Amino acid sequence: MNIYDLTIHELKDKIAAGEMTPAEIKKAFADRINDVEDRVKSYITVTDELAENGLADYENKKDGLLAGIPIAVKDNMSTDGIKTSCASKMLKNYKPPYDATAVKKLNEAGAVIMGKTNMDEFAMGSSTENSAFFNTHNPWNLDRAPGGSSGGSAAAVAAGECAAALGSDTGGSIRQPASYCGVVGLKPTYGMVSRYGLVAFASSLDQIGPITKDVEDSAILMNVIAGHDPKDSTSIEGKKEDYTEYLKEDVSGMKIGIPEEYFNLDFDKDVKESVLSAVEKLKEAGAEVETVHMTDASYALAAYYVIAPAEASSNLARYDGVRYGLRSEHAADISEMFTNTRHEGFGDEVKRRIMIGTYALSSGYYDAYYLKAQKVRTLIKDDFDRIFNDFDLIITPTAPTTAIELGSNSDPLEMYYTDIFTVPINIAGVPAMSVPCGFDSKEMPIGLQLIGPHFGEGKIIQAAYTLEKLLDISNKRAEL
């Protein structure tokens, strides 16, 4: 196996045994980027200098959990002095004066940051086709999308352009691309990972999380990035866990719910069969599996596409050409400058969501749309709480299909439907992980979604680790 195919824990073992040096590892991943990046297009910015600085500081951080490990970061997380564009013309030359807390923790753990990855503009999209700069390609089939909005991070991990990456998840933007690219993606409980320095899309839904090659790496990265941050008012105070303690092959007595309403939806036959086959494996290993009843996922999707655009409308109001970012040069007065800056700086999907959100928040429509969506949100959260009183986990598919073809989905409403299984999790604020569970008839990866109660990351990791061992497909890599 090539160096760039190895996981974080395998690379750490090689370094500890003296079989590889961090310099050799960094070179292998840099060479891999040079070899495949022109086809995959995972990165907006390759940070050679930052990677070299991380390598030079190895001796001072050699005890760190990520010492000498090449990591990528989604381009909506602030990196001191390094372009953070959110894949938007609005911020194409913006260089933050500080690091996001999650990035700071990577640096403190000794990570070698290889670059900033492509994404849907301001994290609005499900295919990374909404990037203002270029499309990212799925390493399993370059004609297909990597998912979104963290498509660049998922593709970089799947292509061996980094050992792992950070993504952000507002309605499935870690888990859906992880499913499309055959890697592991975890959305933690809301507030478990600091959002300080994450460029806001929908503040009550956004969450940073890891995208990795296997479940053990996800636990390692969670140990690095999770924890209270006084700079984030939504950050949760509590005891810090060691998530690697949950890496056990044991689901005996674990109660797993299968939501009938989700599996009755019209979605890809190969996806359904693969997920249900994986559930049977867990059942054979000792898990107790029962059908449960939940609020129809379509209600969560409808509520999400009111709440998220409303929050985006507010958050993106700051991009007006005055403070930072793009300023239009084609304006006769300040009012025209505001209008032209936003017209030139934002792409179609961002404009669409700002318009929807502004409408939902406007006088006369607030009660009919935004307030009603928030009431539905409470019902959905209560629904999850009710089920988790009796069950440890819930299993659904991650996405209704495998990776779609680039350019095939021009209807925004059809694209929104790809989030049908992931959006309810963000609405409720609970954690969920996408783990590979098989392949379709065209050899494209399929993801299974494990959903846990608030602060239930440990249970998710334990069940996912067990499933990974039962299926024995985590070492299968995309061939480029």
**Predicted confidence (pLDDT) per residue in 112-122, tens digit:** 999 999 999 99
| Cut 0.75: pTM above it | yes
pLDDT at 411: 87
pLDDT at 240: 84
Please say whether the beta carbons of 163 and 112 come within 8 A.
Answer: no
pLDDT (average), residues 280-286: 98
Structure tokens at 314: 């507010």
Model confidence pLDDT, tens digit, residues 166-211: 999 999 999 999 999 999 999 999 999 999 999 999 999 999 999 9
> Rounded to the nearest 5°, which phi and psi values hold at 190?
-55, 125
pLDDT (average), residues 425-431: 98
- Cα(103)–Cα(83) distance, rounded to whole angstroms? 14
pLDDT band at 47 (very low <50, low <70, confident <90, very high): very high
pLDDT at 41: 98
The bridge status of strand 288-292 relative to strand 207-212 is unpaired
- Cα(121)–Cα(90) distance, rounded to whole angstroms? 10
- Cα(480)–Cα(477) distance, rounded to whole angstroms? 9
Residue 1 predicted with pLDDT over 90: no
pLDDT at 231: 98
Structure tokens at 460: 């998710």
Please say whether the beta carbons of 110 and 54 come within 8 A.
Answer: yes
- Cα(164)–Cα(114) distance, rounded to whole angstroms? 10
pLDDT band at 363 (very low <50, low <70, confident <90, very high): confident
Residues that are catalytic: 74, 149, 173
Please say whether the beta carbons of 85 and 123 come within 8 A.
Answer: no
pLDDT at 357: 97
> Rounded to the nearest 5°, which phi and psi values hold at 102?
-65, -40
Residue 354 Cα distances to 122, 200, 307, angstroms: 11, 13, 11
Residue 30 predicted with pLDDT over 90: yes
CA quadruple 224, 227, 231, 236: dihedral positive or negative? positive
pLDDT at 466: 98
Angle between helices 348-361 and 297-315 (to 10 degrees): 100
Model confidence pLDDT, tens digit, residues 429-455: 999 999 999 999 999 999 999 999 999
> Rounded to the nearest 5°, which phi and psi values hold at 74?
-60, 145
Residue 323 predicted with pLDDT over 90: no
Residues of the chain with pLDDT > 70: what percent?
A: 100
Q: Mean pLDDT across the chain, nearest whole number?
A: 96
Under DSSP, is residue 96 helix (H, G, I), strand (E, B) or coil? coil
At 49, which helix (H) or strand (E)?
helix 48-56
pLDDT at 422: 98
Please say whether the beta carbons of 445 and 321 come within 8 A.
Answer: no
Residue 410 predicted with pLDDT over 80: no
- Cα(300)–Cα(209) distance, rounded to whole angstroms? 22
At 355, which helix (H) or strand (E)?
helix 348-361
Residue whose pair of structure tokens reads 């990374």 in the numeric block: 128
pLDDT at 106: 98
Under DSSP, is residue 272 helix (H, G, I), strand (E, B) or coil? helix
Which of 318, 297, 307 is CA-nearest to residue 366? 307
Tell which CATH architecture fits domain 3-254: Alpha-Beta Complex (3.90)
Q: Please, how many CA atoms are within 13 Å of residue 191, restricted to the half-sphere of its CB?
A: 13
- Cα(457)–Cα(177) distance, rounded to whole angstroms? 19
The order of strands in the sheet holding 164-169 is: 43-46, 112-117, 70-74, 164-169, 207-212, 184-187, 432-439, 445-451, 393-397, 255-259, 288-292
Model confidence pLDDT, tens digit, residues 215-248: 999 999 999 999 999 999 999 998 789 999 999 9
- Cα(379)–Cα(424) distance, rounded to whole angstroms? 11
Which of 188, 195, 223 is CA-nearest to residue 431? 188
In eight-state DSSP terms, residue 241 is P
- Cα(212)–Cα(433) distance, rounded to whole angstroms? 11
Under DSSP, is residue 367 helix (H, G, I), strand (E, B) or coil? helix
In eight-state DSSP terms, residue 234 is T
pLDDT at 474: 81
pLDDT band at 373 (very low <50, low <70, confident <90, very high): very high
pLDDT at 327: 95
Residue 283 predicted with pLDDT over 80: yes
Which of 180, 420, 173 is CA-nearest to residue 304? 420
CA quadruple 154, 36, 446, 302: dihedral positive or negative? positive
Catalogue the E-assigned strands of 214-352: 255-259, 288-292
Residue 312 predicted with pLDDT over 90: yes
The partner residues of 209 in beta bridges, in order of sequence, read: 167
Please say whether the beta carbons of 380 and 428 come within 8 A.
Answer: yes
Residue whose pair of structure tokens reads 């009431």 in the numeric block: 375
Please say whether the beta carbons of 127 and 357 come within 8 A.
Answer: no
pLDDT at 470: 97
Task: Return all residues near 284 (Cβ < 8 A) that are at least 6 apart.
Answer: none
Residue 126 predicted with pLDDT over 90: yes
- For residue 442, count CB atoms less than 10 angstroms from its CB and return exposed for 0-12, middle for 13-18, buried for 19 or more: exposed
Say which residue, 296 or 153, is predicted with more confidence: 153
- Cα(419)–Cα(416) distance, rounded to whole angstroms? 6
Residue 295 predicted with pLDDT over 90: no
pLDDT band at 343 (very low <50, low <70, confident <90, very high): very high
